[in-house]
Amino acid sequence: MERSKWPKETIDLWNRLYKKDAADIETIQKSIVHHVTTTLARAAYNMDNFTAYQAVALSARDRLIAQWNETQGQLSKADPKRVYYLSLEFLLGRSMDNALLNLGLKDVYAKGIGQLGFRMEDVVESESDAALGNGNLGRLAACYMDSLATLEYPAWGYGLRYNYGIFQQRIIEGYQAEFPDYWLNFDNPWELPRLDISIPIYFAGHVHSFQDEYGVTRHKWVPGQSVQAIAYDVPIPGYDTENCNNIRLWRSKPTRVFDLTSFNEGNYEKSVEDATQAEKITSVLYPNDNTMAGKELRLKQQYFWTAASLHDIVRRFKKSQRDWSDFPEQVAIQLNDTHPTLAIVELQRILVDEEQLNWDDAWEIVTRTFAFTNHTVLPEAMEKWSVPMFEYLLPRHLQIVFDINLFFLQKVEKRFPNDRELLKRMSIIEEAQPQQIRMAHLAVVGSHKVNGVAALHSNLIRDTIFKDFVEYYGSDKFVNVTNGITSRRWLNQANHKLSELITETLGSDAWIKDLDLLKGLNKKVDDKVFQKKWMAIKRANKVRLAELIKERCGIEVSPDALFDVQVKRIHEYKRQFMNILAVIHRYRTIKSLTPAQKANVQPRVVIFGGKAAPGYYVAKLVIKLINSVANVVNQDPAVGDLLKVVFIPDYNVSLAEVIVPASDISQHISTAGTEASGTSNMKFVLNGGLILGTMDGANIEILEEIGEDNIFIFGCLAHEVEDLRYAQRYRGVPMDPALQGVLAAIEKGTFEDPKIFQPLISTLTIGKDYYLISADFASYLRANQAVDAAYKDQDEWVKKSIRCTANMGKFSSDRSVKEYADNIWHIKPFKVVDNQQID
């Protein structure tokens, strides 16, 4: 019987049964045991930590689903404006601990599972990471989803459900080796398969042009291939709220009757091959960070994902029976980098070809709907697609791209007549052999707002890659939203002891949702008792990391040494190479000291971690060099505990949760103007770690917040980079002498066969040192000495550490998300009420 015709008794019965589970320990234990014995088909006697994890996860998931249903039901009814965050990467890491903390049930679950014979820490450790991202860009998306839910914004994420996330890294004879991350091996309790939501996605074929009944020329895409997009929903609970948002991830499947031609020809093998090709689309995450590979499969991924997401968004909009002109009042779509830019073209196609709107009206709707975040200025990361490849896969979309470009350039020409160079520079199409589509230009033209991710970066894009566009559109279209991180995961969860101390000190845990309240800690900077507790927690975190290092790397390090950390993707612009070169310099210096002098050396553990893209030869050599140096240094009795070098393999989110709280100093040392923002810098400082860094990305704003006495800054400034490059190229500036000494040591064979490292060393040839390692080297060494000296003065150090945490409020992703909501998306919070009624 239809729901609207139910008699009162039926509704009453539903309402009586439709009650949220109580949160007492017995109800929780019952639900755990229920999942062990039924869902997992196990018994108490053959349970292990992993089974316990699965059962706790399933039990928590039941609660998430209830909240998810409430949220989505109430949102459907009220139908407020929503934001859709399109990101090819969501680097969520583990979910269980986060879900329990956000639900406010961590303690009672810990107690519950404890009485059932398991330790919560072991259960938490049994979960593997959801690693559907490369680095910061994907982790940022995850932090934003947490903030959107916590701030009760109506928001959905859209992404791809890769079968293989970022590869697992092992170190074999010092080299990186990559292994597939088949993360779905043991099922994933955090996703809800929506097998009923299956959307056909088309590729290839040709375009049919015809005159409609009014004599207007219209176009219809007659596709040649089809696949299905299946939805998997990942609930994202907010902290301390009933709201539970959704990330919808698409998986590709073959269409049931896929290729009729092969089928009709009786070519079974060919039709199976087609089916396999269809599944391949969402098989693997491309492991490149900040570089573009230009592979056809990647373009297929991008279209598959944007087309499925738009279909879903449009379907939801159409339910409300509003006029198309209302679309931008109901829908905001944020493009996380250029990867989803095809969504612009796809929406224009839907509106013009399928909904029969005229071009200009459609384009107005499109541009009012989309906004675009740029995350990089590196030329190698700029997405371009070859026109012939694009035409084969998306023939109708290519026509639309050319039309968008034509109309756009006509307008530019009108404003700035007779400037062919300008048109060439601004064109969406690059005149190369073959022609290329510049996705960043398309994203700018199709969006109403464009933002960079830190103040310096936003200024840089206005002055460089988008300069002409700023002149044409005016500067209002180009804004800054400095990145942020979620305090829920990066302090409350990862450093729970510190979190408890902060709550106790401030007298409330309100800071978890309002990070500016940390300012209250400034009053405690000189409080000796507080300082002692603060340092005791840092030390405990260092002990935990030392144990992990012993276990994973077999290296013994002292928690009393200064822990110096650089963990991030390995990339030339991030200059891990410069770091290890300075370590070599330190090593050589220590070796030259008398025993008396050695007594004054500040012991240091230099910790590296990070993955290199599998095809990035030079970056992989940096890993090899770090491991070769570590091998020699760690075994040199003349050095002992004064210097240890560690490369922790397979850096990922859950490792970061152990490493970040344990650092004394972390390094964010990119050449000025190359790191768009960085977000790990924020995580370290929030946890009371100091920064050694350049005037780049968000470091600059961190300095502004915490004060220059609490950060170690060195190196050239962004506006000096061009002149420095010119000078070394054309004026023969000699190499830094200390650097010369270091290179000579490598070339002498101090760290394995020097031939191995020749390609790496040659990147420093005078005139070719693009990332300016030589130019910055002297000031880098000085900054390192300043770190040593400051760390020796522990009384002052602890004050710096407290001031760091106290002044990081700005970098909460809650602040970032609010800026997007107010200035770009124009959406308002929608509070889900816990009414526990079916309607």
> Known catalytic residues?
375, 568-569, 574, 679, 683
The answer to whether 800 contacts ligand B1N (rule: CB under 6 A) is no
Helical pair 395-415 and 342-349, crossing angle rounded to 10 deg = 100
Number of Cβ atoms within 10 Å of the Cβ of 592: 9
Q: What sign does the CA torsion over 518, 520, 523, 529 have?
A: negative
Q: By CB under 6 A, which span of 130-138, 238-246, 595-603, 708-716 interacts with ligand B1N?
A: 130-138
| CB within 8 Å of 534: residues ≥ 6 apart | 498, 501, 688, 798, 801, 802
Nearer to ligand B1N, 398 or 460 (CB): 460
Q: What sign does the CA torsion over 630, 631, 632, 637 have?
A: positive
Nearer to ligand B1N, 238 or 452 (CB): 452
* Site size toward ligand B1N, by CB under 6 A: 19
Instruction: Give a three-class secondary structure readout of 83-151.
Output: EEEECCCEEEECCHHHHHHHHCCHHHHHHHHHHCCCCHHHHHHCCCCEEECCCHHHHHHHHHHHHHHHC
Out of 229, 676, 802, 804, the only residue in the binding site for ligand B1N (CB under 6 A) is: 676
The answer to whether 649 contacts ligand B1N (rule: CB under 6 A) is no
Out of 243, 290, 807, 813, the only residue in the binding site for ligand B1N (CB under 6 A) is: 290
Nearer to ligand B1N, 340 or 678 (CB): 678
Alpha carbon distance 299, 91 (integer Å): 21
Closest distance to ligand B1N from the beta carbon of 572 (Å) = 13
- CB 731 within 8 Å of CB 766: no
Alpha carbon distance 416, 444 (integer Å): 18
Q: By CB under 6 A, which span of 165-173, 323-331, 677-685, 740-748 interacts with ligand B1N?
A: 677-685
Closest distance to ligand B1N from the beta carbon of 674 (Å) = 8
Where residue 245 falls (left for φ over 0; alpha for ψ -120 to 50; beta otherwise) is beta
Closest distance to ligand B1N from the beta carbon of 288 (Å) = 5
Closest distance to ligand B1N from the beta carbon of 88 (Å) = 7
Out of 140, 428, 692, 760, the only residue in the binding site for ligand B1N (CB under 6 A) is: 140
Question: Which of these, 544, 566, 757, lies nearest to 648 by C-alpha position?
Answer: 566
Out of 71, 677, 699, 812, the only residue in the binding site for ligand B1N (CB under 6 A) is: 677
Closest distance to ligand B1N from the beta carbon of 508 (Å) = 31
The answer to whether 679 contacts ligand B1N (rule: CB under 6 A) is yes
Q: By CB under 6 A, which span of 284-292, 358-366, 486-494, 503-511 interacts with ligand B1N?
A: 284-292
Closest distance to ligand B1N from the beta carbon of 601 (Å) = 34
Out of 243, 306, 376, 667, the only residue in the binding site for ligand B1N (CB under 6 A) is: 376
Number of Cβ atoms within 10 Å of the Cβ of 406: 13
Q: By CB under 6 A, which span of 134-142, 167-175, 398-406, 806-814 interacts with ligand B1N?
A: 134-142
Closest distance to ligand B1N from the beta carbon of 612 (Å) = 14
- CB 710 within 8 Å of CB 754: no
Nearer to ligand B1N, 246 or 290 (CB): 290
The answer to whether 405 contacts ligand B1N (rule: CB under 6 A) is no
The answer to whether 150 contacts ligand B1N (rule: CB under 6 A) is no
Nearer to ligand B1N, 381 or 838 (CB): 381
Out of 57, 131, 137, 331, the only residue in the binding site for ligand B1N (CB under 6 A) is: 137
Out of 98, 136, 163, 654, the only residue in the binding site for ligand B1N (CB under 6 A) is: 136
Alpha carbon distance 447, 332 (integer Å): 11
Alpha carbon distance 177, 625 (integer Å): 15
The answer to whether 565 contacts ligand B1N (rule: CB under 6 A) is no
Nearer to ligand B1N, 64 or 453 (CB): 453
Alpha carbon distance 782, 700 (integer Å): 19
CA angle 660, 666, 670 (to 5 degrees): 125
Write phi, then psi, for 177 (nearest 5 degrees).
-125, 140
Nearer to ligand B1N, 144 or 780 (CB): 144
Q: By CB under 6 A, which span of 52-60, 288-296, 554-562, 772-780 interacts with ligand B1N?
A: 288-296
The answer to whether 427 contacts ligand B1N (rule: CB under 6 A) is no
Could you say which residues in the range 442-501 bind ligand B1N, by CB under 6 A? 453, 483
Q: What is the CA radius of gyration of the chain?
A: 28
| CB within 8 Å of 116: residues ≥ 6 apart | 29, 32, 33, 52
Q: By CB under 6 A, which span of 71-79, 112-120, 135-143, 800-808 interacts with ligand B1N?
A: 135-143
Q: What sign does the CA torsion over 678, 679, 682, 683 have?
A: negative
Q: By CB under 6 A, which span of 10-18, 54-62, 374-382, 499-507 interacts with ligand B1N?
A: 374-382
Closest distance to ligand B1N from the beta carbon of 132 (Å) = 12
Nearer to ligand B1N, 113 or 453 (CB): 453
Could you say which residues in the range 683-702 bind ligand B1N, by CB under 6 A? 697
The answer to whether 302 contacts ligand B1N (rule: CB under 6 A) is no
Task: Report the b/e string of 183-209 with b at 16+ CB within 10 A.
Answer: beeeebbbbbeeeebebebbbebeeee
For residue 644, what is the enclosing H or E element? Answer: strand 643-648
Number of Cβ atoms within 10 Å of the Cβ of 107: 12
The answer to whether 375 contacts ligand B1N (rule: CB under 6 A) is yes
CA distances from 346 to 408, 443, 446 (A): 18, 13, 11
Residues that bind ligand B1N (CB under 6 A): 134, 136-137, 140, 288-290, 337, 375-376, 381, 453, 483, 675-679, 697
